[in-house]
Amino acid sequence: MFERQKWSYEEPLSGDHNIIPADTITSDLRTRSNTLSFWSINTHDELEDAVLAIATSRNQLTRLDVLILQEDKIVESNLELVLSPETGHSPYTLMNEKHYNLVNLNYNKLGDLSRIIISVVENDGVSHRYTKQQIREIIYSGHMSGKIEFDEMHEDLQKELTKFILSKSHLQ
Per-residue pLDDT of the chain (172 residues; tens, 9 = 90+): 555 555 555 554 455 556 666 777 777 778 889 999 999 999 888 999 999 999 999 999 999 988 899 899 999 999 999 999 999 999 999 999 999 999 999 988 988 898 888 888 777 667 888 999 999 999 999 999 999 988 999 999 999 999 888 887 766 5
Q: What is the pLDDT of residue 30?
A: 82
Q: Are strands 127-130 and 99-103 parallel, antiparallel or unpaired?
A: unpaired
105-130: b (≥16 Cβ within 10 Å) or e: beeebbbbbbbbbbebbeeeeebbeb
Q: What is the pLDDT of residue 8?
A: 57
Q: Is 4 exposed, middle or buried (0-12, 13-18, 19+ CB in 10 A)?
A: middle
> For residue 13, how far is the Cα from the chain centroid?
24
Q: What is the pLDDT of residue 120?
A: 81
Q: What is the pLDDT of residue 57?
A: 94
The answer to whether the predicted template modeling score (pTM) of the entire model surpasses 0.85 is no
Q: What is the pLDDT of residue 123?
A: 72
d(CA 44, CA 48): 8
How many residues are given for the chain? 172
Is residue 59 within 8 A of residue 157, CB to CB? The reply is yes
